[in-house]
A = this chain, B = another copy of it.
């Protein structure tokens, strides 16, 4: 199996979306351009979610315009919740979007105010329209392993929804441990339900709430998964997921990969520089292990 791993940086969107204090568009632009210089092949830069729900990312169009002045070889992915969001993304010249559904009914209702079934139908429309327009689409499935409201999620349900997203035309589905509660056995259970899906069509999106994120990465690697989402500095955490702490930090993931001899093509020193840049912008220390070690 390949030793090449792709790390998708989701900090600018997933990491920042819940920050209460408004961050300037310029700060976000500099963060993204700096991250692109680290060597990530894909950076999720913002979201076209209604500002009422995610005020921090209300400047998405302006940010994209600023970014367009500096071309990048990295894919700039934008999260879109619906057709309207897709339209706005297209107007901003976006070429890759991400869509999302949840594997837990209660979470789907609380996070997006619609059932999984409705969510699926809406998402199919968005994906098909995006493909028609020549875009590529990444899919997120959240609460794949555990739901903060329902507890353990049925692996078969998670697998069925993953296949649906791929059938709609997503080129990859990122399996989200939204509350960071999964253990390697959970990862196994879900992946075992997806035996015929090429592993390059799957990614893991992990949180480190219980300290299990890198254990789950390890199990994913064992099972052939070669794409992992992470967030600079460990920024982020889902507001609808009680007890959810930050995303798996990019620098912690890179530590595991680097020491383990996995090829990733990312400049670790530059990543730490960007984590320090993020700290300065947020005005507080990042929560990653690597940054804590570097401070000690």
A residues in contact (CB < 8 Å) with B:
181-186, 208-215, 217-219, 222, 243, 245, 249, 252, 255-256, 259-261, 288-290, 292-293, 296
Q: Cα distance A260–B255 when bound, in Å? A: 25
Which listed residue, B209, B259, B288, touches A183 by the CB 8 Å rule?
Answer: B259
What B residues does A289 contact at CB under 8 A?
A: 208-211
* Distance from A177 Cβ to chain B, minimum over Cβ atoms (Å): 12
| Contact pick for A184, options B183, B209, B218, B290, CB 8 Å | B218
Minimum distance in angstroms from A144 CB to a CB of chain B: 15
Q: Shortest CB–CB separation between residue A268 and chain B, in angstroms?
A: 12
Flag if B209 contacts A293 (CB, 8 Å): yes
Give the chain B neighbours of A209 by CB distance below 8 A: 289, 293
**Closest chain B residue, CB of each to CB of A293:** B243
User: Do the beta carbons of B245 and A292 come within 8 Å of each other?
Assistant: yes
Task: Pick from A184, A211, A249 the residue with the most CB of B within 10 Å.
Answer: A211
* In the complex, residue of chain B having the shortest beta-carbon distance to the beta carbon of A234: B211
CA distance A252 to B215 in the complex (A): 12
Per assembly, the copies of the chain total: 2
User: What residues of chain B lie closer than 8 Å to A261, measured between beta carbons?
Assistant: 185
Instruction: Name A181's contact: one of B184, B259, B288 (CB within 8 Å).
Output: B259
B259 touches A185 (CB 8 A): yes
A292 to B209, CA, bound (A): 9
State the Cβ distance, A31 to closest chain B Cβ, in Å: 23
Contact status A212-B214, CB under 8 Å: yes
Q: Are A296 and B256 touching (Cβ within 8 A)?
A: no
Q: Which chain B residue lies CB-closest to A219?
A: B218
A178 to chain B, nearest CB (A): 14
Inter-chain CA distance A185–B215, complex, in Å, is 12
Closest CB-CB distance, A219 to chain B, in whole Å? 7
Q: Given known contacts A183-B256, A215-B215, A222-B222, what 18 new A-B pairs fall within 8 Å (CB)?
A: A183-B259, A183-B260, A184-B260, A186-B259, A208-B211, A209-B289, A210-B252, A210-B256, A211-B211, A211-B249, A211-B252, A211-B288, A211-B289, A212-B214, A215-B217, A215-B218, A245-B293, A245-B296
Interface centre among A208, A214, A289 (most CB of B within 10 A): A214
Contacts of A212 in B (CB 8 A): 214, 255-256
User: Within the complex, which residue of B185, B217, B255 is in contact with A210, where a contact is CB–CB below 8 Å?
Assistant: B255
Query: Which residue on chain B has the smallest CB distance to residue A258?
Result: B183
In the complex formed, the residue of B with least CB distance to A296 is B243
A243-B296, A290-B210 known; A256-B215 Cβ under 8 A = yes
